[in-house]
Structure 1
């Protein structure tokens, strides 16, 4: 598994830090300190691309609505099809939470 190459003390500390955040405001503040605005927007864009691919949107529609390159869309699609299933897991959890608050 490719993810095993990433494992290590520094990355564990990063993930533990993210998991310790208590609410959306803490997330905004932490990621503002941790990443550049472009990095944060790229991460958010990838998640939106995953959502749109899952919903059956075309590359053209995704590119137009998100500004993502076809390379980014292809990478996300590859992860959806052959990755660790985490896009699907996270999108389902977010969808479930959104339904609870309606």
Structure 2
């Protein structure tokens, strides 16, 4: 499915709006637990960590070793990290700002 078309679906629009309504970490944990399997949640966390290590300049092989991610996952995350949508990049910047006490 085309990414732009995906976001035109009413159920996906509702999901996006629902995520914006989450107030805190407890809300996010509860929603993720109801929405995803434990494996999916761990996979999301792993992908974000892969993105962080790649953004810090770690070589693919080192990222694989440190995260346990497959070469396919590392490659896909790298493509997304440097791709047109910028989701990983936005989140990494916000996380960095938060860690530095700027939020």
TM-score normalised to the size of structure 1? 0.91
- Cα distance in structure 1, aligned partners of 2:70 and 2:56: 18
Partner of 2:3: 3
| Paired residue secondary structure (2:31) | helix
Q: Are residues 1:63 and 2:64 paired?
A: yes
Deviations along 1:16-65, one digit per CA (max 9) or x if unpaired, are: 11110100011111100110000011111111111100001111211111
Partner of 1:45: 46
Partner of 1:35: 36
For residue 83 of structure 1, report the CA deviation from its aligned partner.
3.2
Q: Are residues 1:96 and 2:90 paired?
A: no
Which runs of structure 2 are paired with 1:73-84 in the superposition (5 Å)? Answer: 73-84=74-85
- Cα distance in structure 2, aligned partners of 1:33 and 1:69: 26
- Cα distance in structure 2, aligned partners of 1:47 and 1:24: 17
Unaligned runs of 5+ in 2: none
RMSD: 1.2
Give structure 1 regions of 4+ aligned residues with deviation exceeding 3 angstroms.
none
Unaligned runs of 5+ in 1: none
Which one has a larger percent helix, Structure 1 or Structure 2?
1
